[in-house]
């Protein structure tokens, strides 16, 4: 017993657990799991998907005789995950990562929101020191607010509707112009539970970004309840901004 079991138990109890958590944004849970299915099947390090509103967290963990030994197992898998997901992968709070990058570049950000009702701006401003890079935003819930505050063409609101690519990009342009920011983000969509139609169902969201390298607008169709659709919209906006900042 002393010769075999005691050393075994001592080794087991003295092992150091090391883990890191990566946040994957703007992807359905099933798609994230499919992309790392081979890593999930590994016994060491372990990779466990954890669902969070608007995000999928991947917990990479390993045990070793020391922290350095455990980290040596974890780090290569973390790098694999980063390569697989690119701009969608964050290890820190996404808003903090983006604000830090804006700050280093001497750049600024403004936002224009409709269906998220200020959630995007609130997520940025809960980070201490956000004012170094975040200039402000507009909550333009009504068509009149979009037109009068952001300069969205009333003819386009009538023709295409508030939830459209055309309106989303004009919202981004309007926020950037009004606050003279380097970058801007805009979100317009149908968070539900009502308001959807056959052509524009609940969960349809358009996100736009404008910056020195140009403009971009994307369409997303989210599932879930009102809060989840709003959370997913904010997560997608983070990825969109990161991709814009990485443009040459």
Q: Three-state SS for 195? A: coil
Co-location of 105 and 120 in the same domain: yes
| Domain match, 79 and 130 both | no
Q: Quick one: tokens of 234?
A: 């904010």
| Rounded alpha-carbon distances, angstroms, from residue 2 to 6, 12, 15, 65 | 5, 15, 19, 20
Count of domains forming the chain: 2
CB 208 within 8 A of CB 216: yes
Per the listing, tokens 């009538």 go with: 158
**Same domain as 219, residue 101:** yes
Determine the pLDDT at residue 136. Answer: 98
Q: What is the pLDDT of residues 6-46, one digit of tens each?
A: 455 445 556 788 999 999 999 999 999 999 999 999 988 99
Amino acid 16: pLDDT: 87
145, 228: one domain: yes
Domain boundary among the residues 44, 70, 90 is at 90
Cβ distance 183 to 102 under 8 Å?
yes
Distance CA 236, CA 55 (A): 10
176 and 146 share one domain: yes
Environment class of 186 (CB within 10 Å of its CB; exposed 0-12, middle 13-18, buried 19+)? buried
CB 210 within 8 A of CB 183: yes
Positive or negative CA dihedral for 140, 100, 23, 183?
positive
Strand order in the sheet with 183-189: 134-139, 109-113, 183-189, 204-211, 214-221
Cβ atoms 142, 149 nearer than 8 A: no
User: Same domain for 113 and 228?
Assistant: yes
| pLDDT of 100 above 60 | yes
Q: Which of 60, 90, 120 is the last residue of a domain?
A: 90
Identify whether the C-beta of residue 188 lies closer than 8 Å to the C-beta of residue 167. yes
Residues 84 and 165 occupy one common structural domain = no
State whether 65 and 139 are in the same domain: no
Residues 169 and 211 in one domain: yes
CATH code, domain carrying 203: 3.90.950.20
108-154 confidence digits (pLDDT tens): 999 999 999 999 999 999 999 999 999 999 999 999 999 999 999 99
The reported pLDDT for the residue numbered 10 is 45
Same-domain status, 149 and 208: yes
* Cα(214)–Cα(185) distance, integer angstroms: 12
C-alpha pair distances (Å), 84 with each of 32, 95, 158: 10, 21, 41
Which among 22, 57, 90 is the end of a domain? Answer: 90
**Residue 5 confidence (pLDDT) above 90:** no
**How far apart are the C-alpha atoms of 206 and 223, rounded to whole Å?**
14
Residues 170 and 190 in one domain: yes
pLDDT at 8: 55
Report how far residue 1's alpha carbon sits from residue 246's, in angstroms, rounded to the nearest whole number. 60
Residues 109 and 211 in one domain: yes
Strands (E), 134-213: 134-139, 183-189, 204-211
Partner residues linked to 17 by β-bridges: 63
DSSP label of 66:
S
Q: How confident is the model at residue 190 (pLDDT cuts 50, 70, 90)?
A: very high
Q: Which domain holds residue 71?
A: 5-90
Domain CATH code at residue 71: 3.30.70.2860
């Amino acid at each position: 017993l002393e010769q075999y079991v005691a050393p075994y138990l001592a080794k087991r109890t003295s092992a150091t657990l090391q883990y890191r958590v990566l946040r994957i944004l703007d992807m359905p849970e099933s798609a994230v799991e499919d992309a790392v299915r081979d890593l999930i099947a590994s016994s060491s390090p372990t990779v466990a998907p954890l669902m969070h509103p608007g995000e999928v967290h991947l917990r990479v963990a390993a045990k070793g005789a020391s922290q350095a030994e455990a980290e040596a197992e974890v780090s290569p898998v973390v790098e694999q995950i980063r390569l697989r997901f690119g701009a969608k992968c964050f290890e820190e709070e996404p808003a903090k990562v983006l604000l830090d990058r804006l700050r280093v570049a001497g750049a600024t950000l403004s936002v224009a929101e409709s269906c998220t009702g200020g959630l995007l701006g609130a997520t940025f401003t809960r980070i201490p020191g956000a004012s170094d890079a975040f200039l402000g935003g507009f909550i333009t819930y009504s068509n009149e607010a979009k037109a009068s505050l952001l300069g969205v063409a009333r003819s386009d609101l009538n023709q295409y509707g508030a939830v459209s690519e055309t309106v989303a990009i004009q919202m981004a342009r309007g926020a950037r112009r009004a606050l003279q920011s380097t970058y801007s983000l805009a979100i317009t969509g149908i968070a539900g539970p009502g308001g959807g139609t056959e052509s524009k169902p609940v969960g349809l969201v358009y996100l736009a970004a404008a910056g020195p390298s140009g403009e971009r607008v994307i369409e997303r169709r989210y599932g879930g309840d009102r809060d989840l659709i709003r959370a997913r919209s904010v997560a997608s906006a983070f990825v969109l901004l990161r991709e814009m900042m990485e443009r040459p």
